[in-house]
Amino acid sequence: MQYRQLGTSGLKVSVLGLGTNAFGGRADKATSIRVLHHAVDMGITFIDTANIYTNTQSESIIGEAFEGRRDQVILATKVGIKNGDGPNDGGSSRLHIMREVENSLRRLRTDYIDLYQIHTFDPTTPLEETLRALNDLVVAGKVRYIGASNYAAWQLMKSLSISERFSLAKYVSVQPGYSLVDRGIERELVPFCVSEGIGIIPYFPLAGGILTGKYAGGAKPEGSLLDKNPNFAARMDDARMAMGDKVVEMAKELGTTATALSLAWLMHQPGVSTVIAGATRESQIDDNLQAVGLELSSDVLNALDEASEEFIYVRPFGSQPRRK
């Protein structure tokens, strides 16, 4: 396994991380725990979850899996997306953050969170309020580092400016959707992160399976996102599916898999600290690990860049389709 600094912080994370939004959903508890243990045994240290994943089950399963092994992993979770019917059951207010961090700590069976991330920008809460709350958690020792998720470059810049002005803890990372079929962050967010030393943590690196070849020929594998989530079909447009086929072809020529090639391409991008890839069975961990150490020549990287250039200028893969 390779390990990298998370941005310019002192925290080292495995270049391949594990996403857990399927734990307690598409993967039952016993399977999820096996996947978690296998991931750590193979050198993966960065485990990413959120308080809303599978109605809190993901955090609870992770807590059970690593009880007694807490020091072997870097636990990252998130707060901010609405998780109840009350007026304060969402957002990044001090009230919501302080309440939810306690809930996450309890479910994760730990007294500290390595990376606590605001799940999405909250336009109704002043950034200073959010950052002061997060700073208090760092000072209290309940949180080691803070990060953002789904922030635009200007939102991240404003956050860093406020932290600098008031000597508050700074975001060390940002988590955006990023893949060969979703390159929009290269317009502004990537150069900003490289300039300011913010670690990039891509999610949806395989575009829900499009970049693995699993949907080739109209296939609909049992247990896949397409099988479990009919809304996912709206993201499978012709251009992205064609790019998936292209990646499969290139991978065959290189003697590797589409999965490994897609993940390795991300690992070669500027500013990327760790790539979050989900898994619902142990064999998927092994498949994803083939990307680690897969060196891509400048010719291969250029070919992938050119083939996927159009995806710098399209709607983000994870965004909801426009209403018709």
Q: Please give the share of the chain, as a percent, with pLDDT higher than 70.
A: 93
pLDDT of residue 95: 98
d(CA 13, CA 141): 20
pLDDT of residue 115: 98
Residue 277 near residue 48, CB atoms below 8 Å: no
Better-predicted residue by pLDDT, 147 or 315: 147
The shares of helix, strand and coil residues in the chain, as percent rounded to the nearest 5, are 45, 15, 40
| 252: in domain | yes
| 95: in domain | yes
pLDDT of residue 234: 66
| 201: in domain | yes
pLDDT of residue 320: 53
| 182: in domain | yes
Q: Please give the share of the chain, as a percent, with pLDDT higher than 90.
A: 88
Structural domain including 245 reads 3-312
> Looking at residue 258, which CATH number applies to its domain?
3.20.20.100
What mean pLDDT is reported for the chain? 93
| 89: in domain | yes
Structure tokens at 228: 């479990």
DSSP per position, 51-68: TTGGGGHHHHHHHHHTTT
Better-predicted residue by pLDDT, 272 or 321: 272
In this predicted model, what pLDDT tens digit does every residue of 166-225 receive, in sequence order?
999 999 999 999 999 999 999 999 999 999 999 999 999 999 999 998 887 665 666 655
Residue 26 near residue 223, CB atoms below 8 Å: yes
| 318: in domain | no
CB 56: neighbour CB atoms within 10 A?
A: 17
Mean pLDDT of 16-25: 96
Residue 53: active-site member: yes
Burial degree of 324 (CB within 10 A; 0-12, 13-18, 19+): exposed
pLDDT of residue 88: 92
Per-residue confidence band for 317, with pLDDT thresholds at 50, 70 and 90: confident
* Candidates 3, 53, 116, 171; catalytic one: 53
pLDDT of residue 250: 96
At 169, give phi and psi (nearest 5°): -55, 140
Nearest CA-CA partner of 237 in 176, 300, 319, 177: 319
Distances (CA, A) of 104 to 49, 58, 62, 75, 161: 10, 10, 11, 11, 28
What is the tally of structural domains in the chain?
1
| 317: in domain | no
* β-strands 143-149, 16-19 pairing: unpaired
| 320: in domain | no
Q: How far is CA 61 from the centre of its chain?
A: 18
- pLDDT over threshold 60, residue 323: no
In this predicted model, what pLDDT tens digit does every residue of 219-239 receive, in sequence order?
566 665 555 566 666 677 889
In this predicted model, what pLDDT tens digit does every residue of 281-310 receive, in sequence order?
999 999 999 999 999 999 999 999 999 999
Q: What is the DSSP letter of 87?
A: T
pLDDT of residue 324: 41
Which residue matches tokens 């790019």?
243
